[in-house]
Amino acid sequence: MQRRFYTLMLAALAGVVWLSSASTAEATFAARITTLSNPGGTTIFDGGAGDLDGGPNGSITVNYGDASYRLIGTISFTNSPGDPNLAILDVSYNLSTLGRTGGAASLEVSSTGFTQPSDNPLTLTSSINGNGQGTGTLTMQQWANTSDTLFGHGPVTPGPQGPFAINAAGGYGSSASKVFNQVGPYSIDDLLSFNLSPGASTSGDSQSIVTSPAPAGLVLAAAGCPFLGFGFLRRFRKAKVAVA
């Protein structure tokens, strides 16, 4: 609980910095959706075709559907190039196979151009929380790519998390971390692998957060704002969800 609370505090502070910062146009930010009906995948770039929330703004909103799956909502935001306290890539998903065939599918989101935090050692914290109905599984893995490659896997990863049963009582989730050193820009990549039966659905959120040792002031600020993280993220996502 303490780790999850601290993660939410960091995410909220990252969102405040991101909303007040300059455009992230220097970085590349994209989502890729692959299903049995679309084995070649559909890639959606921030501000490009298929992104419903306007020009490049560090957020990707989609309304995607094929014979296998439907995906809707704000699926990701990033604060690339980061700030002195943390870098974040957040992936929200609302996925269903209602009236569809389901099967193996993946949602991968990647953002390049992170240059902060810059004080080694850095820690990549990988977390996921979600719930669902029907039958199926989900596995998640996250990477920090020290070559700054879009959709780059490795070399830094806490390893796979899952597979989780989407209908687990009380929801599913976990958190893991990996320490690394970096010189120069890096990318963050999140890969969610689904295998849902027809008529199933799942929704949730995964976060990749990179931090350096937290200043004492940041910890004290978080301790004094117990509801900041959840409230900020909830209002942000409600405002950004696309209407089908």
The answer to whether residues 45 and 117 touch, using CB atoms and an 8 Å cutoff, is no
The answer to whether residues 163 and 106 touch, using CB atoms and an 8 Å cutoff, is no
User: In percent, how much of the chain has pLDDT > 90?
Assistant: 73
User: What is the DSSP-derived secondary structure letter of residue 7?
Assistant: H
Candidate from 6-20, 169-183, 190-204 with smallest mean pLDDT: 6-20
Number of CB atoms found within 10 A of residue 15's CB = 21
More confident residue, 160 or 55: 160
Which pTM was predicted?
A: 0.79
pLDDT at 4 (0 to 100): 42
Q: Which residues share a beta bridge with 64?
A: 71
Half-sphere exposure of 101 (CA within 13 A, CB side): 10
- What is the arithmetic mean of pLDDT over 133-150? 97
Residue 226 pLDDT level (bands cut at 50, 70, 90)? very low
Residue 129 pLDDT level (bands cut at 50, 70, 90)? very high
pLDDT at 27 (0 to 100): 79
pLDDT at 67 (0 to 100): 97
Domain boundaries, the chain: 10-168+187-240
Asked if residue 138 has pLDDT above 90, the reply is: yes
Asked if residue 212 has pLDDT above 60, the reply is: yes
Asked if residue 16 has pLDDT above 60, the reply is: no
Average pLDDT, the chain: 82
pLDDT at 230 (0 to 100): 33
pLDDT at 131 (0 to 100): 97
**Using one digit for the tens of pLDDT, what is the confidence trace for 80-126?**
999 999 999 999 999 999 999 999 999 999 999 999 999 999 999 99
The answer to whether residues 129 and 233 touch, using CB atoms and an 8 Å cutoff, is no
pLDDT at 214 (0 to 100): 55
pLDDT at 213 (0 to 100): 78
CA 28, 79, 95, 123 dihedral sign is positive
User: What is the DSSP-derived secondary structure letter of residue 241?
Assistant: P
**Using one digit for the tens of pLDDT, what is the confidence trace for 36-87?**
999 999 999 999 999 999 889 999 999 999 999 999 998 899 999 999 999 9
Which residues, including other chains, have CB under 8 Å from residue 18's CB and lie 6 or more apart?
58, 77, 78, 79, 88
Asked if residue 1 has pLDDT above 80, the reply is: no
Give the DSSP per-residue string, 30-47: EEEEEETTEEEEEEEETT
